[in-house]
Structure 1
Amino acid sequence: MILPLAGIFSIFVRNAQKPGLIKDPYIYKPDSIMLDMEDAVAENQKDAARFSLYHALKTINYRVCERVVRINGLDSPYWKEDIRCSVAGGCDSIRIPKTESAQDVQLVEREIISAEKEFGLPEGSVLIMAAVESARGVMKALDICESSERLFGIALSGGDYTKDLQTHITGTGIELMGARQNG
């Protein structure tokens, strides 16, 4: 496993459903590769994306890049199978979208533990990153950060956050200042 946040400065995000896009990103030498199962994948392509994701994780040598999988939201019917597939494939960490509470992190952690047992991995093999995308998530940031020993990072997703605030991205970042100061 790659140690998270040991100098992570770049994350290369790729649509997990497109094998041509996920086979070579390590050549750009990012610190981390995020294979996206959520927004980048069409609703009717989730199973195909999971198939591509599993085979990429199993067969592609991403070298020293951390392998992160952004699962589907906890409000979808897909996230549990995303976790099983990601853990079976050997990902380093799971990124939870739209995290709004400590309970969200703990729910995902329970599924990861179950998958680690199912696939014979030591407990604690797969880490967690939480993406905060709403005002509620920002207000619960401390609880989220303290929710699990596996949690190694929290990220503010500006696009969805500004939608939640019913504002728009200005280009200056002023719309994100309150969230940055709260966290």
Structure 2
Amino acid sequence: MAIRPRRSVLYMPGSNARALEKARELPADGVILDLEDSVAPDSKTEARARVAEVVKAGGFGPREVVIRINGLDTPWGAEDLEAAAAAAPDAILLPKVERVEQLETVGRRLEELGVPAQTRVWAMIETPLAILNIHAIAAAARNPQTRLSVFVLGTNDLAKETRAALIPGRAPMLAWLSMCVAAARVYGLDVLDGVWNQFKDMDGFQAECAQGVEFGMDGKTVIHPSQIEPCNAAFSPPPAEVERARGIIAAFERPENAGKGVITIDGRMVELLHAEMARRTVALADAIAARG
């Protein structure tokens, strides 16, 4: 079972040369080099060139490198896509995905540009229409041309577009978050939670990380380096859970349990589905350990 840890994915403004260089050293599982929200209109052309140069230069080690472009309906989107395609990051993040057609358009363009299949597409889910269309958007992953592999939740934009309050516990958004996770799981996508804005409030941040784990999300997008380590800790399986998972796998592999759908371990009934969950836990723990 091949798993790529995506516990913490840090947004880095494409217009900040110092931040882009620092991205190579931070302990985040991934970095999103941003050309959209964090870049002023008069800096977008310069930021595009800088981000492309940084990505081409490499040196990010095990970190997943993602370029967030501007929407194709903006003056910068088409050139952003071409520059990102030429830089060959691990993924290109599309803002404000609301319809399958947006993914198909990008997929066709990447094919025309001869971009290798290993460059994936991530989708920002950040508008009411995206939530209402979430099943169809996730189902686009069945079409290899779309390259869709990850949902990134844009909770700030969701709050803006719906007028819902951004409050601790996110009660107004719970249904939307659950819908995104459910749709993603049907089609084998990963889901990254939205950002926590008050980066000095570590208690609040840790509580929201814990909520994301409870929802079954794979990780969280972050906006400040101080959030990386606690985010990694929250989305890493605890050692005791990994030990239990290894025990479940070992028990099902014993000759006397061959072919059984249910066994007893320490007085507790354990089913094959628990063994499947255990294998994923162990695979994730091993992948995290391999990062060093």
TM-score w.r.t. structure 2 length? 0.57
Equivalent position SS for 2:32: strand
* Matches of 2:149 and 2:22, distance apart in 1: 26
Which residue of 120, 123, 130 maps to 1:127? 120
Larger of the two Rg values belongs to structure: 2
Which residue of 7, 10, 15 maps to 2:8? 10
Query: 1:156 corresponds to which residue?
Result: 153
Query: 2:45 corresponds to which residue?
Result: 47
Q: Deviations over 1:117-171 (max 9, x none)?
A: 2xxx43x131011111111101111111111431111122100001111122112
Equivalent position SS for 2:89: coil
Shift >4 Å, 4+ stretches: none
Equivalent position SS for 1:27: coil
Check if 1:28 corresponds to 2:26. yes
Query: 1:139 corresponds to which residue?
Result: 132
Query: 2:166 corresponds to which residue?
Result: 169
CA RMSD of aligned residues (A): 1.5
* Matches of 2:58 and 2:151, distance apart in 1: 27
Q: What is the CA-CA distance between 1:178 and the residue it aligns to? A: 1.7
Equivalent position SS for 2:140: coil
Segments of structure 2 that go 5 or more residues without pairing to the other structure are: 181-292
Q: Deviations over 1:83-111 (max 9, x none)?
A: 11112112110111111011111111122
CA contact (8 A) 1:9 1:31 kept: yes
Q: What is the CA-CA distance between 1:175 and the residue it aligns to? A: 2.0
CA contact (8 A) 1:162 1:175 kept: no
Segments of structure 1 that go 5 or more residues without pairing to the other structure are: none
Which residue of 161, 175, 178 maps to 1:178? 175
Q: Percent of pairs identical after alignment?
A: 23
* Matches of 1:89 and 1:32, distance apart in 2: 16
* Matches of 1:55 and 1:114, distance apart in 2: 22
Q: Answer with 5-14 or 92-101: which moved more.
A: 5-14
Query: 1:83 corresponds to which residue?
Result: 81
Q: Counterparts of 1:84-123 in structure 2 under 5 Å?
A: 84-115=82-113, 117=114, 121-122=115-116
Q: Which structure's residues are more often helix, by fraction? A: 2
TM-score w.r.t. structure 1 length? 0.89
